[in-house]
C-alpha cells in the first residue's frame, strides 16, 4: 500500500470509528493543504435509519461557519474603501446609532438601559466585542426579547436584530449577532442581497457552487437532516420550521454547504487570499484577519440557557483564545498538534473547522446534530485533526 493510500485509510478508519461510536448519525470531513485536498471522507447516514448514506458531497446547514465568509466579504469592501473598520457602524446601518446598553432589570422587572459610552464599529461587530449577544447564551437578552416582544433570530424578521447591547462596545467578548449586522452593512453599501454578493465576489470566484442561503434542487437532493441527541444518547431526526417570510439573509449563520466547498475557502485563507488563480482578498488583508484583534480581552466559555440547542461549550478549555476577523485564535498550542495562532470556529449543528497557516493545513467536519458542543462529535473532529498532525506534519 502506498503512503498516500495508507494515510487515506487511516483517516477513513478514524471517521468510521467515531460514527460507530455514536458521534453522529453521519458525518463528512475534509483535510486540505495549500495545494489541494489531502483527504475527503464520509461515514454513516444523512437521516438516521434511512439507509441513505452520507457522501462526500452531502449538504448541511453550516450555521456559524457562515461568519468567516461574511467577514471575508466585509473585508473586500474595506479594501475598496466602502466600509471602515473603526468608523461608527451606525453610519451605514442607522439603527446602530440608536442602540442602548441593557444593564439588567429593576425590581419591577423593567429593563435598565443607558446610552453606550462609544459607538459600535465594524471591527467590534466582527470580533464579538460590540455588546450584541445571542439569546441562547445570554439570559438578559432572552428576557429582553420576551419583555419587548422582539422575535427570535431564526424568524429572519428584521426586528429580530434590534436588541440592546450587553456591555459597552470594545470592553468584553461575548458571542453574538454582530456579524448578522455586518451582513446588513454589506447589503447597504453593495446594493445587493448578501447571497448575490457572495455569488458574485466570493463563493462564485472560489468555485463554491454548493454554498448558498437558499438550497438549489441539487443541494436539496443531497441534504442531511438535523438530528437531536436524546437523553439516552441516541438520535432522532428533526423537522426544523422554516420562516414563512424571511426578511434578510443571516450573515452570521444562514448558509448551507458542503465541506468540499468549505475546504476551498480554507485553502484561500492558507494561500493569502488567492485560490486557483482567483484573488478575492489582498495578502495583507488576510494576514490582518488572522491576527488578534481584541488585545488582552479573551474568549469566554459559552454558558447555555437553551439546553435543547446548546450545551455549555468551549474549545480547548483553560487555554487562552483571542479573536481575529472573524476566527477564534489559539494563543497557545493545542493538544491535537495545532500550533499557537491556529484559527477555528464552528456551526450550531456541530460542524467545525480549523486553519493552520504556519503548517499550511486545515480541515472541516460536518455533522447535523443538536445540541451544540456535543462531546462525542467534537472529540471526533479533534481525532481527525490529531490524525492529520500525526500523519502529515
Domains of the chain (ranges, CATH numbers): 3-77+189-392 (3.40.710.10)
The pLDDT tens digits of the residues spanning 113-169 come to 999 999 999 999 999 999 999 999 999 999 999 999 999 999 999 999 999 999 999
For residue 121, the SS3 value is strand
- Given a cut of 80, whether residue 4 has pLDDT beyond it is no
Contact, 166 vs 116, CB < 8 A? no
Of 42, 64, 68, 190, catalytic: 64
Is 162 among the residues known to form the active site?
A: no
The pLDDT tens digits of the residues spanning 19-58 come to 999 999 999 999 999 999 999 999 999 999 999 999 999 9
Question: Would you place residue 1 in the very low, low, confident or very high pLDDT band (cuts 50, 70, 90)?
Answer: low
Contact, 210 vs 219, CB < 8 A? yes
Stretch 252-262: mean pLDDT: 98
Of 63, 67, 134, 190, catalytic: 67
Is 139 among the residues known to form the active site?
A: no
The pLDDT tens digits of the residues spanning 202-237 come to 999 999 999 999 999 999 999 999 999 999 999 999
Cis peptide before 371 (omega within 30 of 0): yes
* pLDDT reported for residue 271: 98
* pLDDT reported for residue 238: 94
For residue 101, the SS3 value is strand
> Which of 321, 357, 327, 317 is closest to 339 using CA atoms?
357
- Given a cut of 80, whether residue 393 has pLDDT beyond it is no
The pLDDT tens digits of the residues spanning 169-191 come to 999 999 999 999 999 999 999 99
Is 64 among the residues known to form the active site?
A: yes
Of 175, 201, 353, 365, catalytic: 175
**Which grid cell is 126?**
466582527
* pLDDT reported for residue 302: 98
Q: What is the pTM of this model?
A: 0.97
Amino acid at each position: 500500500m502506498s503512503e498516500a493510500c495508507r494515510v487515506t485509510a487511516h483517516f477513513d478508519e478514524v471517521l468510521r470509528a467515531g460514527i460507530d461510536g455514536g458521534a453522529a448519525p453521519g458525518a463528512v470531513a475534509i483535510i486540505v493543504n495549500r495545494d489541494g485536498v489531502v483527504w475527503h471522507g464520509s461515514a454513516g447516514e444523512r437521516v438516521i435509519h434511512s439507509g441513505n448514506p452520507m457522501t462526500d458531497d452531502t449538504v448541511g446547514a453550516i450555521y456559524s461557519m457562515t461568519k468567516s465568509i461574511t467577514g471575508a466579504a466585509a473585508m473586500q469592501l474595506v479594501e475598496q474603501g466602502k466600509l471602515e473598520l473603526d468608523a461608527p457602524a451606525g453610519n451605514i446601518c442607522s439603527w446602530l446609532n440608536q442602540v442602548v446598553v441593557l444593564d439588567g432589570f429593576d425590581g419591577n422587572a423593567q429593563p435598565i438601559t443607558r446610552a453606550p459610552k462609544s459607538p459600535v464599529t465594524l471591527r467590534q461587530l466582527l470580533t464579538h466585542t460590540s455588546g450584541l449577544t445571542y439569546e441562547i447564551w445570554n439570559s438578559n437578552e432572552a428576557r429582553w426579547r420576551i419583555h419587548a416582544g422582539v422575535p427570535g433570530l431564526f424568524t429572519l424578521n428584521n426586528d429580530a436584530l434590534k436588541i440592546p447591547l450587553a456591555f459597552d462596545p470594545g470592553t468584553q467578548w461575548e458571542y453574538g449577532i454582530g456579524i448578522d449586522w455586518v451582513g446588513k452593512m454589506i447589503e447597504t453599501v453593495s446594493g445587493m442581497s448578501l447571497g448575490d454578493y457572495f455569488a458574485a465576489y466570493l463563493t462564485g470566484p472560489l468555485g463554491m457552487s454548493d454554498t448558498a442561503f437558499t438550497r438549489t434542487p441539487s443541494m436539496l437532493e443531497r441534504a442531511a437532516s438535523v438530528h437531536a441527541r436524546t437523553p439516552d444518547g441516541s438520535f432522532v431526526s428533526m423537522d426544523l420550521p422554516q420562516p414563512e417570510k424571511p426578511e434578510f439573509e443571516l450573515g452570521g449563520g444562514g448558509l448551507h454547504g458542503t465541506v468540499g466547498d468549505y475546504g476551498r475557502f480554507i485553502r484561500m485563507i492558507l494561500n493569502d487570499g488567492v485560490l486557483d488563480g482567483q484573488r478575492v482578498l489582498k495578502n495583507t488583508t488576510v494576514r490582518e484577519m488572522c491576527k488578534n484583534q481584541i488585545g488582552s480581552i479573551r474568549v469566554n466559555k459559552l454558558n447555555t440557557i437553551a439546553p435543547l440547542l446548546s450545551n455549555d461549550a468551549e474549545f480547548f478549555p483553560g487555554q487562552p483564545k483571542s479573536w481575529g476577523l472573524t476566527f477564534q485564535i489559539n494563543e497557545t498550542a493545542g493538544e491535537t498538534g495545532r500550533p499557537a495562532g491556529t484559527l477555528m470556529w464552528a456551526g450550531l449543528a456541530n460542524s467545525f473547522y480549523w486553519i493552520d497557516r504556519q503548517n499550511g493545513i486545515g480541515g472541516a467536519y460536518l455533522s447535523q446534530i443538536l445540541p451544540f458542543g456535543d462531546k462525542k462529535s467534537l472529540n471526533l473532529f479533534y481525532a481527525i485533526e490529531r490524525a492529520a498532525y500525526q500523519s502529515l506534519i
